[in-house]
A and B are shown apart, each in its own frame.
Chain A
Amino acid sequence: GVLERSREQLLRQTCEAVVLGVLHPRTAISLVLQVLSDAGSLLSCCLNAACMALLDAGLPLTALFCGVTCALQPDGTILLDPTARQEQEARAILTFAIASSEKKVLLATTKGSCSVEEMQQCLAAAQRATDTIFQFYRDSVRRRYSKC
């Protein structure tokens, strides 16, 4: 449907920004994502899965990226990585894909409206959270390659 197309476009353009396509001419890189279960923060989960898959494939990347979802609750508190329930109750949900180099923003989508300050706060919180996620990437990759 239309929602899937929109998500595909987001993911494709994010991956295109990091993958060094020039090193693989006349090649198609196809990324297939299958949602097994959706318990909230779906888009950032897809982004993380896509990045790790690109890592696993050994494709040359300019930077790693990770997806973070922030939910702005009605009382103004910022909640990272919300569950489906928290997403429904939230005033606004912001999803960012943040690159590992200088924590720049690769992708930004919002659902619901928020003020500019709130958006900046969510972005700052998301950038802080990327440290944890990149550490997780490193640990997973280390675990995978230490077994074989």
Chain B
Amino acid sequence: RTVEPLEYYRRFLKENCRPDGRELGEFRTTTVNIGKCLCSITTADGSALVKLGNTTVICGVKAELAAPAVDSANKGYIVPNVELPSLCAERFRSGPPGEEAQAASQFIADVIENSQMIVKEDLCIANGKLAWVLYCDIICLDYDGNLLDASVFALLAALKNVQLPLVTINEETGLSEVNLKQKNPLVIRKHPIATSFAIFDDTLLIVDPTAEEEDLATGTVTIVTDEEGRLCSVHKPGGSPLTGAKLQDCITRAITRHKEVKKLIDKVIKSITPK
């Protein structure tokens, strides 16, 4: 396994399975913890912890007030930030964010924008004067492959957990008044879920790669779908060429995965809502 990792993997792939016992199309056990009781972030407005096998990602959402931009006076802001601190894997050094973290941040921003899961107009409080800014910090605690799937899932779970206080603008003083007693949940219109695949030897596609598999793979594909079966994002950053048919297979698998994940997240949210 250490001397000839590729040969070691090939032997398993020939039997249509993987060293950790999974099938080629099987995902690792997914667990999600949402909210202040289960997830540890008590200072955030919304938080979620997602574990995809060993890959652990925590997402914290903080809402702050700001003046909207001049050219889009009725839009708030959503600022995602993915961090890969040096504690999650040996390859990440401390210091300014590396390329992988920045590309992941851009990917998450694109997913939010493409899927329209949160419409920026919903974040506006007073046109041209006040709007919400949602700072979504996604931090990887343990990197074992498939960062994008876990990050998108953690973001979705955390946003579902966010409760925004009611803000009114006092006409006389012109100042904003935050009513912390009255909280409304965030309006989430779409639920995008990401599914990642690794391409081996230009032909084989395996789902949910671990860090070892990602290193040996010749390419990766990430498909983000929403509940209507629409594609929010097809992210194939280079790597071995794929035919259109193979891409279609990935999309079908992604749609099935969406249903599984949606069921999981609904179950978890139901279990934490106070009855």
Measured CB to CB, the residues of A under 8 A from B are: 2-3, 5-6, 8-17, 63, 92, 94, 97, 99, 101-102, 104-116, 119-120, 123-124, 127
Number of interface residues of B (CB under 8 A): 36
CB-CB under 8 A from A12, the residues of chain B are 238
Contact call B241/A105, Cβ cutoff below 8 A = yes
- A47–B234 Cα distance when bound, in Å, is 17
Contact call B240/A17, Cβ cutoff below 8 A = yes
B38 within 8 A of A: no
- A110–B110 Cα distance when bound, in Å, is 9
Interface residues of B in 53-112 (CB under 8 A from A): 99-100, 102-103, 105-107, 109-110
CB-CB under 8 A from A119, the residues of chain B are 231, 234, 251
- A6–B82 Cα distance when bound, in Å, is 13
CB-CB under 8 A from A15, the residues of chain B are 238
Contact call B244/A115, Cβ cutoff below 8 A = no
Contact call A116/B241, Cβ cutoff below 8 A = no
- A120–B252 Cα distance when bound, in Å, is 13
Contact call B229/A115, Cβ cutoff below 8 A = yes
CB-CB under 8 A from B110, the residues of chain A are 111
Contact call A13/B229, Cβ cutoff below 8 A = no
Please provide the 10 A-B residue pairs with the shortest distance between their CB atoms, ordered closest to farther: A13-B238, A104-B241, A14-B238, A6-B106, A5-B102, A108-B236, A9-B103, A6-B103, A108-B234, A99-B241
Pick from B99, B113, B229, B236: contact of A5, CB below 8 A: B99
Contact call B230/A113, Cβ cutoff below 8 A = yes
Measured CB to CB, the nearest residue on chain B to A124 is: B244
Pick from B106, B116, B236: contact of A113, CB below 8 A: B116
- A84–B106 Cα distance when bound, in Å, is 21
